[in-house]
A and B are shown apart, each in its own frame.
Chain A
Amino acid sequence: MAGNAKQTHSGHRGLDMDEPLIFEQDAPGRTGVDLAEPPAVQDRLGGLARRGPVGLPGLSEPQVVRHFARLSRMNYAIDTGLYPLGSCTMKHNPRLNEKVARLPGLGDLHPMQPEETVQGAFELIDTLAHWIKTLTGMPAVAMSPAAGAHGELCGLMCIRAAHEAKGNPRARVLVPESAHGTNPATAAMCGYTVDAIPADDRGRVDLAAFEAKLGDDVAGVMLTNPNTCGLFENDIVKVADRIHEIGGYFYADGANFNAIVGRVRPGDLGIDAMHLNLHKTFSTPHGGGGPGSGPVVLSEALAPYAPVPFVVHGPDGFRLAEHAGGDAAKTFGRMKGFHGQMGMFIRALSYMLSHGSDGLRQVAEDAVLNANYVLARLQDVMSPAYPGPCMHEVLFDDHFLKDTGVSTLDFAKAMIDEGYHPMTVYFPLIVHGAMLVEPTETESKDSVDRFIDSLRYLAEKAKSGDTAFFEQAPELTPRRRLDETRAARSPVLRWQPPPAADAAE
Chain B
Amino acid sequence: MSGTKFTEDHEWISVDGDVGTVGISDYAQEQLGDVVFVELPEVGRQLEKGGEAAVVESVKAASEIYAPASGEVTEINDSLEDAPATVNQSPFGDGWFFKIKLSDPDELDALMDEAAYKSFVEGLE
Measured CB to CB, the residues of A under 8 A from B are 426-427, 429, 484-485, 488-489
Cβ–Cβ contact B61 & A485, under 8 A: no
Q: Does B102 sit at the interface, judged by CB under 8 A?
A: no
Cβ–Cβ contact B84 & A489, under 8 A: yes
Q: Bound state CA distance, A484 and B85, in angstroms? A: 13
Whole-angstrom distance between the Cβ of B9 and the nearest chain A Cβ: 12
Whole-angstrom distance between the Cβ of A13 and the nearest chain B Cβ: 27
CB interface residues, B 39-84, toward A, < 8 Å: 57, 59-61, 63, 84
Cβ–Cβ contact A426 & B36, under 8 A: no
Cβ–Cβ contact A488 & B36, under 8 A: yes
Q: Which residue of A lies closest to B125 (CB)?
A: A402
Q: Secondary structure of the A side of the interface?
A: helix
Cβ–Cβ contact A488 & B61, under 8 A: no
Measured CB to CB, the residues of B under 8 A from A are 34, 36-37, 57, 59-61, 63, 84-85
Q: Bound state CA distance, A429 and B37, in angstroms? A: 18
Whole-angstrom distance between the Cβ of B35 and the nearest chain A Cβ: 9
Cβ–Cβ contact B84 & A429, under 8 A: no
Q: Which residues of B have CB within 8 Å of A429?
A: 61, 63
Closest 6 CB pairs of A and B: A488-B36, A485-B34, A426-B60, A484-B59, A489-B36, A429-B61
Q: A429-B61, A488-B57, A489-B34 are in contact. List 6 more A-B contacts (CB 8 A).
A: A426-B61, A427-B61, A485-B34, A485-B36, A489-B36, A489-B85
Whole-angstrom distance between the Cβ of B83 and the nearest chain A Cβ: 9
Q: Which residue of A lies closest to B60 (CB)?
A: A426
Between-chain CB contacts (< 8 Å), 13 pairs: A426-B61, A427-B61, A429-B63, A484-B34, A484-B59, A485-B36, A488-B36, A488-B37, A488-B57, A488-B59, A489-B34, A489-B84, A489-B85
Q: Which residue of B lies closest to A181 (CB)?
A: B62
Whole-angstrom distance between the Cβ of A84 and the nearest chain B Cβ: 19
Q: Which residues of B have CB within 8 Å of A426?
A: 60-61
Whole-angstrom distance between the Cβ of B58 and the nearest chain A Cβ: 8
Whole-angstrom distance between the Cβ of A386 and the nearest chain B Cβ: 17
Q: Which residues of B have CB within 8 Å of A484?
A: 34, 59
Whole-angstrom distance between the Cβ of A20 and the nearest chain B Cβ: 27
Q: Which residue of B lies closest to A425 (CB)?
A: B60
Q: Which residues of A have CB within 8 Å of B84?
A: 489
Q: Which residues of A have CB within 8 Å of B59?
A: 484-485, 488
Q: Bound state CA distance, A251 and B36, in angstroms? A: 34
Whole-angstrom distance between the Cβ of A189 and the nearest chain B Cβ: 16
Whole-angstrom distance between the Cβ of B1 and the nearest chain A Cβ: 26
Q: Which residue of A lies closest to B63 (CB)?
A: A429
Q: Which residues of A have CB within 8 Å of B60?
A: 426
Q: Bound state CA distance, A489 and B60, in angstroms? A: 13
Q: Which residue of B lies closest to A485 (CB)?
A: B34
Q: Which residue of A lies closest to B61 (CB)?
A: A429
